[in-house]
Structure 1
């Protein structure tokens, strides 16, 4: 049986942590089916994609923890609006974390969860230096929340306005993205088990996690023969 949730809401208000401005411990459930459709279309072109295992298919039947981020043009001094897609396998919750420093400070977690097939959404905070991995309910403004549960697959989409990795005027969208999962009792969330740590990425650049190496750098053994061939061509034409 498929249960899902559609939420077109603006959650309120203010949580301030290094790297993320802004809002509330949210819990939504029991609504209508939502048009959540998460695919790889646009990856490295219009949206930044991170996933585990590599290149897994979020529309397939195999396990795939997948997230995409699309950053709108920044609006000074508030920052940029991020549109998030998140898909994963869990009978508890999946979550996307944003942090400026994965070994220090705080990670802001955006949690998509299920309770016996009913979807709910929460924002949490996790100390990057706290070894007990405890999560704390917190507030962060989140908009356009849509979620869907199909068996053990959780899918959700949401927007995070006014995101800025810097306290200065302007918008810095360089964050480390964490993907993971955990358990839930339906009210309490268990520890966040990190499956993927992206390292620092510019979320406004869909290609920031794509290797920039070209053919020559990927195949250094081909450089010398290629240069020799070019030299022969020059000599023949001289």
Structure 2
């Protein structure tokens, strides 16, 4: 099936309409209640937050995410379980990439419009921070909680992989966190994320750093140790069930 991709490149504010893509790639689950805390950080999940050390259970100014995954099987990846919490009248966003200076970032937006929750998936060309494209990345088990300006959501991204090779870096991601405004059900772009040091997300986390270092400068590049061309892969709703969408990134020594 032929798919039209709209590339949004701008120097100022960009608005992305919700009707550009369908929602068949998203599945929601209201069977359990969202309950995001620091419990398990450094043990069963990797936690990244801004400001450092804040607790999403008691501080609405805390922009927080936790990541945990099934056993990693590159290039098939891991089923990544995500918690995302933050204070915004618009959206909070999680971005995942292998290298924030080049290649592609995948972004997941938990947002609200007059107290109604909505969810978006997009990719960004890291070499142009304004270049966002809507993508139908498969996301399952989406749960949400809205309490005034507090947005919390939980979801799973199946078979996501930072590389396409069988090495230890396949489960290592740079985490991007952001919050911003919405205009109805449109996301106001571009965004200016905080950037973490690379974090590893194996199925069982034994020595995970609970608070990776963060920087507020836009697209600051942590040191990356792998070399060559790799692929940031994740399932795509419009491909065959076992296929993945490969988003190429160039990683340098």
TM-score by length of structure 2 reads: 0.67
- Cα 1:103–1:42 change in 2 (3 A) is same
State which drifts further: 87-96 or 200-209: 200-209
1:10 maps to none
> Alignment RMSD, CA only?
2.7
Does the Cα contact within 8 Å between 1:181 and 1:192 map onto a contact in 2?
Answer: no
Mapped to 2, the partners of 1:157 and 1:126 lie a distance apart of: 22
- Cα 1:90–1:162 change in 2 (3 A) is same
- Cα 1:129–1:29 change in 2 (3 A) is same
3-state SS of the aligned residue for 1:108?
A: strand
5 Å-filtered alignment, 1:68-217, equals 68-75=66-73, 77-131=75-129, 133-168=130-165, 172-204=170-202, 205=205, 207-209=207-209
2:50 maps to 52
3-state SS of the aligned residue for 2:188?
A: coil
3-state SS of the aligned residue for 2:112?
A: strand
TM-score by length of structure 1 reads: 0.71
Aligned length: 188
Bigger proportion of residues as strand: 2
- Cα 1:60–1:159 change in 2 (3 A) is same
State which drifts further: 88-97 or 58-67: 58-67
- Cα 1:43–1:200 change in 2 (3 A) is same
3-state SS of the aligned residue for 1:194?
A: coil
3-state SS of the aligned residue for 1:189?
A: strand
- Cα 1:143–1:31 change in 2 (3 A) is closer
5 Å-filtered alignment, 1:13-28, equals 26=23
